[in-house]
Amino acid sequence: MANEATTYEKTYTIGGDLTVNRMGYGAMRITGEGIWGPPKDREEAIRVLKRSVELGINFIDTADSYGPNVSEELIAEALHPYPKDLVIATKGGLLRTGPNEWPINAHPDHLREALEGSLKRLKLDKIDLYQLHRVDPEVPFEKTLEFLQQIQEEGLVKHIGLSEVEVAQIKKAQEYVKVVSVQNMYSVENRKWEKELEYCRQHDIAFIPWYPLGGGNIEVMEKLEQIAKNHDATAHQVALSWLLHHAPNILLIPGTSKVKHLEQNYQATSISLSKEEMDQLNGLGSAPISG
C-alpha cells in the first residue's frame, strides 16, 4: 500500500570498520558569524557538543577552517578524552582570509600544516576520517592525492574522504587511496550530485550531504510542510528524514549552535515516512538543480 511506512538502516559502517549512527553532527556552526572567530555563546557551544554525544550521535564532522581552528578546539575541550565509539572527521584544503571567505589551497605543504594542526587541536594521534575539503584547480590533483596516500601510509589518518567532487574525480582518487566518503552539497531540493550519490551507493562509499536542509524553493517547502503536519513535525525534520530514507549510505551532519535545535534535528530519526510521501518528495528532485 502507498501509505505504508518505510524503514531505513540506523547505522552505516565507514571504510568497513567505523560503524556510526547515520544522524551525525556538523560542527561548523559552533564558531562566530561568518564561520569566523569564537562563538557568541561559548558555553552553549560546549553544551551542544556534550548533548550530541548524550543523544547517541557518534559521528562529528569538522574542519581546520571552521573558525579557523575554533571548531576543533571546542570539540577537544568538550569531549576529550573521547568516547570509544566516537568518530571525528575533519577536513583540510581551505584557507581563511576573513568571515565567509574560503580560498582553496590543497598544496601538500599547506595540507601537511593543516593536518598537523588538526591532530594537535583535536588531541589525536590519528584522525579516523580525513577529507580533502576541495580539489584545488591550481595544484595537480595527482600531487594532492599523493600527499593523501602518504599521510595514510604514515599512520596519521585511518581513512580518506573527498568533498565537492564528480564521479571522475572519485575514480581518479581511487587510483591512489581507498575513498570511503564523499561530502557534497545535497538536499531534497538540490539533486545536482545525484549521479555521485548513486556511484557512492554502488561502491559502499559514505555520502555526506552538506547544507542538507536546503531552503528557498517554495514548492519544496510547501510539500515538506504538508508532510510534516502528518507527523507532528517540522519541514526541516522531514527534510532530514527524507535523506535517511533516500539512500542507505547517506550520513547526516546538520549543524547548529543551539541545544534546542540539535534535539529537534535528532528527532528526525524517529519519523517514518510512507512510500507515498517518499514518492512525492523524490519527485520534487526529478530535474537536477544547476549551480
User: Residue 217 pairs with which residues in a beta bridge?
Assistant: none
Kindly tell me if the per-residue pLDDT of 289 is higher than 50: no
- In single-letter form, the type of residue at position 273 comes to L
- Higher pLDDT, residue 248 or 2: 248
pLDDT digits (tens, 9 = 90+) for 4-52: 667 899 999 999 999 999 999 999 999 999 999 999 999 999 999 999 9
pLDDT digits (tens, 9 = 90+) for 192-229: 999 999 999 999 999 999 987 776 788 899 999 999 99
The pLDDT of residue 218 is 86
Segment 135-150 mean pLDDT: 98
Confidence of residue 284 (pLDDT cuts 50, 70, 90): confident
Does 280 fall in a domain?
Answer: no
Kindly tell me if the per-residue pLDDT of 158 is higher than 70: yes
DSSP per-residue string spanning the chain: -TTSBP---SEEEETTTEEEESB-EETTTTS-TTSBSS-S-HHHHHHHHHHHHHHT--EEE--TTTBTTHHHHHHHHHHPSPPTT-EEEEEE-B--SSTT---B---HHHHHHHHHHHHHHHT-SSEEEEEE----TTS-HHHHHHHHHHHHHTTSEEEEEEES--HHHHHHHTTTS-EEEEE-B-BTTB-TTHHHHHHHHHTT-EE--BSTT----HHHHHHHHHHHHHTT--HHHHHHHHHHHH-TTB-B--B-S-HHHHHHHHGGGG---BHHHHHHHHHHTSSPPP-
Confidence of residue 285 (pLDDT cuts 50, 70, 90): low
Does 4 fall in a domain?
Answer: no
Confidence of residue 3 (pLDDT cuts 50, 70, 90): low
Which residues are marked as active site? 66
Segment 152-157 mean pLDDT: 98
Q: What CATH number is given to the structural domain containing 15?
A: 3.20.20.100
Does 26 fall in a domain?
Answer: yes
Residues 6+ apart with CB under 8 A from 85: 19, 20, 58
- In single-letter form, the type of residue at position 54 comes to E
Kindly tell me if the per-residue pLDDT of 288 is higher than 50: no
Per the prediction, the chain carries an average pLDDT of 94
Q: Note down the domain range covering 75.
A: 11-216+239-259
Residues 6+ apart with CB under 8 A from 180: 14, 15, 129, 159, 160, 161, 205, 206
The pLDDT of residue 45 is 98
Is-above-0.75 flag for pTM?
yes
The pLDDT of residue 4 is 65
Confidence of residue 240 (pLDDT cuts 50, 70, 90): very high
Angle, vertex CA 149, rays to CA 144 and CA 154, nearest 5? 125
Q: State how many domains the chain has.
A: 1
The pLDDT of residue 51 is 98
CB atoms within 10 A of CB 177: 21
CA pair distance 211, 61, nearest whole angstrom? 13
Query: Helices 70-79 and 42-55 sit at what angle, rounded to 10 degrees?
Result: 60
The pLDDT of residue 213 is 78
Does 228 fall in a domain?
Answer: no
CB atoms within 10 A of CB 194: 14
How far is C-alpha 89 from the chain's CA centre?
Answer: 9
Q: Phi first, then psi: what are they for 221, rounded to 5°? A: -65, -40
Residue that has been written with the C-alpha cell 524517529 in this structure: 270
User: Residue 161 pairs with which residues in a beta bridge?
Assistant: 131, 181
Does 32 fall in a domain?
Answer: yes
Task: Return the C-alpha cell found at 87.
Answer: 568518530
Does 77 fall in a domain?
Answer: yes
Q: How far is CA 268 from CA 94, 108, 197, 243, 252, in A?
A: 31, 39, 21, 10, 11
Task: Return the C-alpha cell found at 220.
Answer: 519544496
The pLDDT of residue 290 is 36
Does 201 fall in a domain?
Answer: yes
CA pair distance 124, 120, nearest whole angstrom? 7
β pairing state of 11-14 and 18-21: antiparallel
Determine what percent of the chain is predicted with pLDDT higher than 70. 95
pLDDT digits (tens, 9 = 90+) for 52-104: 999 999 999 999 999 999 999 999 999 999 999 999 999 999 999 999 999 99
The pLDDT of residue 41 is 98
Does 196 fall in a domain?
Answer: yes
